[in-house]
Amino acid sequence: MSRQRFLTGITPSGTPHLGNYVGAILPAITSSQDSSQDSFFFLADYHALIKCQDPATVRQSSKEIAATWLALGLDTEKALFYRQSDIPEIPELTWILSCNAAKGLMNRAHAYKAAVQANEEAGDDPDFGITMGLFSYPVLMAADILMFNASHIPVGRDQIQHVEMARDIAQRFNHNFVDVFTLPEAVVDDNVAVLQGLDGRKMSKSYNNTIPLFQGEKQLRKSINKIKTNLLEPGEPKDPNDSTVFQLWSAFASDDQIASMRREFENGIAWGEAKKRLFELVNAELAGSRERYQQLMDDPGYVEDVLKKGAQRAREYSVPLMEKVRAGVGIGVLS
């Protein structure tokens, strides 16, 4: 049996927050420490252009995300860590796959369908504001995955469909041209917590309710103080299962700490006190990596170097694969 190869992309369109940390970054770094499997992680900067037309944000977010993964201890000797746009074979493969992917398949993509539906509900033209980038984004994602013969793709639920499309596209290509692509499978981890944001909904940039991962200590305290609670007074019993403070606590605490906080809630801990303890817990976990993060943010040359080395290694896979693909479809030198 061949080695399992895990691959996942991170779109640089915002600042990493606690939800990204608990739900994606930490599980990915932990799984990359298992030397029986290969890990490929990349900044999906071409994907960022689909949602974000602000160059400064894309640049800043790319730097923040790269620094975040390094600060949290990603071992880039073991895992491949690179930037999508440093791999010219990816957009090249995207075009070739585009010429084979069925338009009907893309019509069914959730993100595209949701955009059309929103237009229809607003009484606009169905294609209003929809770019070709949004429409064909599953093909770019297929190229990201197929380029490296990845077998396992850790993603959130919203991305399962895209991995299935990549599989579909690979199958079709293997059948019609040359059998070069591994058929990928989505991996969804039901054990990782989906964190709640300041307002109690899922923590997400689009809800503007996030707690940034590496803001300064004072800022972190302030953010935690903003978490929405009910009006129960100190001494009144509180329902832990209905509390964002408790949910965040549970994502960072040990089992014993979770059990004892549960009792504190039942005994009527004051919201101010619960938030103070939450701050201390989260801050203790993040303080060390926050300092490394600051150092990396101040040394973009170093981060750039790591990414360039990653790209060099990644291209040892993408260049030969692309040669096979080109030959397979009839592109290349005359003989």
Which of 80, 141, 203, 220 contacts ligand TRP by CB under 6 A?
141
Taking the C-alpha atoms of residue 232 and residue 286, their distance in angstroms, rounded to an integer, is 30
Shortest distance in whole angstroms from residue 11 CB to ligand TRP: 5
Residue of the chain from 18, 43, 96, 145 that contacts ligand TRP (CB under 6 A): 145
Helix (H, G, I), strand (E, B) or coil at 71: helix
Give the C-alpha distances (Å, rounded to integers) separating 56 from 49, 67, 70, 298: 12, 17, 21, 17
Q: Does 49 bind ligand TRP (CB under 6 A)?
A: no
- Does residue 8 touch ligand TRP according to CB under 6 A? yes
Residue 251 CA neighbour count, 13 Å, CB half: 24
Q: Which residue carries 């209003």 as its tokens?
A: 128
- Establish if 147 lies at the interface with ligand TRP (CB under 6 A): no
> Which region, judged by CB under 6 A, interacts with ligand TRP, from 5-13, 28-36, 192-200, 297-305?
5-13
Three-class SS state of 212 = strand
159: contact with ligand TRP by CB under 6 A: yes
Minimum CB distance to ligand TRP smaller for 72 or for 145: 145
DSSP at 152: E
Distance between CA 64 and CA 46 in Å, rounded?
16
153 binds ligand TRP (CB under 6 A): yes
- For the record, the structure tokens of 206 come out as 């689009």
- The verdict on 152 binding ligand TRP (CB under 6 A) reads no
Name the segment binding ligand TRP (CB under 6 A); options: 126-134, 153-161, 197-205, 291-299. 153-161
Nearer to ligand TRP, 44 or 261 (CB): 44
- Least distance (Å) between residue 140 CB and ligand TRP: 7
Integer Cα distance of 180 and 149 in angstroms: 8
| 143 lies in the binding site for ligand TRP (CB under 6 A) | no
User: CA dihedral defined by 85, 206, 164, 315, rounded to 10 degrees?
Assistant: 10
**Which parts of this chain interact with ligand TRP (CB under 6 A)?**
7-9, 11, 44, 47, 141, 144-145, 153, 155, 159
